[in-house]
């Protein structure tokens, strides 16, 4: 309609279709002749899902027609994220197109759909293989008849939201282009993370829900949410665990004080501490027994640092950066040692160790690097990719130290790098001038998130996919004896 066209005038070419499938088919044929990088279908709609309010925006993931045919619309998550950044309530899901206006009772029968309109399914042909987006704003909520006196005010609210949504469409359009996508390898789960997740899954399978887990088993929101759905209960401290219940210690390890508390409370403990973290704990005990001051290079508040510190109380001095290293003190400069958190950036850690060695020539270190093989491998892989990429997307949660380090490593190589939990965190503005995008994942992020990121990029134009593997990992860790059949 003309009012919808007016709301969408934002620099893009707007073709007004008119209402209904016949006019939509004609408009789709006209659009095929337009030289454009992509096609966006935009306008008003009627709500089907009772949760949708007038002014809410629907980004269709699928267009369903009355004859049962369905057209997928990939990449809706990126557009929805752009809308939410503008303060709009955006939803993603199926949209149904019908040949006439449906009353509330008939809308209620459209099982699984978010909204309904009279054009989108037929306008999908306008894409002709080009990227397609569908943005519809709810003008009349589910259960509301057109004769309802509130409809006029709701329509005004919807048109305002449509006008605001137009800028998100422009941002989406500016990101449309063919791209090369470089996949860094190794990426995603390491052996320690796989072991920790396997431990919780096996505990649930063999002992039944609920299984309690102290802290996040690994630092990834998707992994935690998936295990919660299966019956895992994540707690911050042991006093939240019922007496006698099964509790899993996370991959980051715990201090002896936590183990003592678990024994006092009679908890059934399964230890998922990564063997490489256990190695650092053993080194801390050894250095403490030798009477050494231990400079622990790591980040304050991280569970791994807290666990290692607990192994040598009174002996550990936390060193977070070069400045801390320059100020570090020890009662006896000839009896000092250093250890590191396993998920640090290798190059930054080397700088800190160099400062400590300069200040304390007698400094002892671990027998082998504390930074784990997976952290080092992923940093080297992203370093190689960053040299050829305009933008790097790192899949990982903000709580993940090793994922945050991947962002920093990529930035030091000159690439713009961003940490994203999944594709809904991607800002299409980052991709406007990016012809080559690197994608990797922290050691605690599932590979399926990488696939979702690649799918979102492919929805913005043709993608040439290239694997960049710097090394192949074949490390495996044994399960704890409590779970060995």
CA angle 342, 346, 351 (to 5 degrees): 115
* Helix residue spans in 340-415 (DSSP H): 346-359, 373-386, 401-412
> Measured between alpha carbons, how far is 119 from 134 in angstroms, rounded to an integer?
11
Contact 470, 381 (CB under 8 A): yes
Contacts 24+ apart (CB under 8 A), 100-107: 101/46, 101/146, 102/46, 103/145, 104/142, 104/143, 104/144, 104/145, 107/46, 107/47, 107/48, 107/142
Q: Give the residue carrying structure tokens 């570090």.
A: 328
Cβ partners under 8 Å of residue 400, min gap 6: 218, 219, 220, 343, 442, 443, 444, 445
**Closest-CA residue to 7 (of 146, 136, 144):** 136
**Closest-CA residue to 465 (of 454, 456, 473):** 454
208-234 as b/e: b if 16+ CB within 10 A: eebbbbbbbbbbbbbbbeebeeeebbb
Instruction: Tell me how far apart the terminal alpha carbons of the chain are, to the nearest angstrom.
Output: 67
Active site residue 423: no
- Return the structure tokens found at 17: 């279709």
Cβ partners under 8 Å of residue 169, min gap 6: 8, 10, 12, 40, 42, 79, 133, 135
Q: Is 367 exposed, middle or buried (0-12, 13-18, 19+ CB in 10 A)?
A: exposed
Q: Which residues pair with 92 in a beta bridge?
A: 59
Q: Strand pairing of 391-395 and 39-47?
A: unpaired
Which among 4, 283, 303, 304 is annotated as catalytic? 304
Tell me the CB-side half-sphere exposure of residue 356, using CA atoms within 13 A: 33
The DSSP secondary structure of 419-434, one letter per residue, reads: EESSGGG--GGGGTT-
> Measured between alpha carbons, how far is 357 from 314 in angstroms, rounded to an integer?
22
> Measured between alpha carbons, how far is 14 from 156 in angstroms, rounded to an integer?
20
**Beta-carbon count within 10 A of 434 CB:** 21
Cα-based distances in Å from 382 to 191, 331, 407, 459 = 19, 40, 9, 24
> Measured between alpha carbons, how far is 160 from 471 in angstroms, rounded to an integer?
53
CA angle 254, 257, 259 (to 5 degrees): 60
Active site residues: 304
């Amino acid at each position: 309609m003309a009012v919808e066209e007016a709301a969408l005038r934002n620099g893009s070419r707007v073709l007004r279709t008119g209402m209904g499938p016949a006019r939509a088919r004609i408009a789709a044929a006209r659009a095929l002749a337009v030289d454009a990088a992509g096609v966006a279908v935009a306008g008003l709609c009627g709500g089907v899902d009772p949760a949708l309010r007038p002014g809410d925006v629907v980004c269709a993931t699928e267009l369903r027609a009355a004859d049962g045919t369905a057209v997928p619309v990939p990449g809706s998550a990126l557009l929805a994220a752009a809308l939410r950044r503008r303060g709009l309530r955006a939803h993603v899901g199926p949209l149904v197109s019908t040949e006439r206006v449906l009353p509330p009772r008939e809308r209620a029968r459209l099982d699984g759909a978010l909204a309904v309109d009279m054009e989108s399914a037929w306008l999908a042909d306008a894409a002709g293989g080009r990227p397609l987006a569908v943005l519809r704003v709810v003008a009349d909520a589910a259960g509301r008849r057109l004769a309802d006196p509130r409809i006029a005010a709701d329509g005004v609210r919807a048109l305002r939201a449509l006008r605001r949504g137009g800028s998100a469409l422009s941002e989406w359009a500016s990101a449309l282009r063919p791209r090369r996508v470089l996949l860094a390898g190794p990426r995603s789960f390491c052996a320690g993370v796989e072991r920790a997740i396997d431990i919780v899954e096996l505990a649930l399978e063999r002992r039944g829900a609920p299984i309690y887990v102290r802290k996040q088993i690994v630092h990834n929101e998707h992994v935690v949410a998936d295990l919660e759905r299966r019956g895992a209960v994540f707690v911050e401290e042991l006093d939240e665990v019922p007496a006698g219940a099964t509790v899993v210690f996370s991959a980051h390890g715990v201090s002896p004080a936590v183990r003592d508390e678990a024994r006092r409370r009679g908890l059934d403990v399964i230890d998922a501490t990564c063997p490489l973290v256990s190695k650092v704990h053993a080194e801390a005990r050894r250095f403490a027994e030798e009477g050494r001051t231990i400079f622990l290079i790591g980040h304050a508040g991280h569970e791994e640092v807290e666990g290692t510190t607990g192994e040598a109380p009174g002996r550990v001095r936390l060193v977070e950066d070069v400045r801390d290293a320059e100020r570090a003190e020890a009662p006896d400069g000839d009896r000092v040692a250093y250890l590191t958190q396993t998920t640090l950036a290798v190059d930054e850690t080397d700088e800190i160790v160099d400062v400590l060695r300069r200040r304390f020539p007698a400094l002892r270190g671990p027998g082998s690097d504390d930074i784990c093989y997976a952290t080092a491998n992923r940093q080297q892989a992203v370093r190689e990719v960053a040299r050829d990429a305009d933008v790097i997307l790192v899949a990982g949660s903000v709580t993940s130290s090793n994922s945050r380090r991947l962002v920093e490593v990529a930035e030091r190589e000159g690439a713009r790098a961003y940490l994203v939990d999944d594709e809904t965190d991607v800002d299409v503005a980052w991709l406007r001038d990016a012809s080559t995008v690197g994608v990797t994942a922290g050691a605690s992020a599932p590979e399926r998130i990488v696939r979702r990121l690649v799918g979102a990029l492919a929805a913005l134009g043709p993608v040439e996919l290239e694997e960049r593997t710097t090394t192949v990992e074949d490390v495996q860790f044994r399960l704890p004896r409590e779970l060995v059949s």
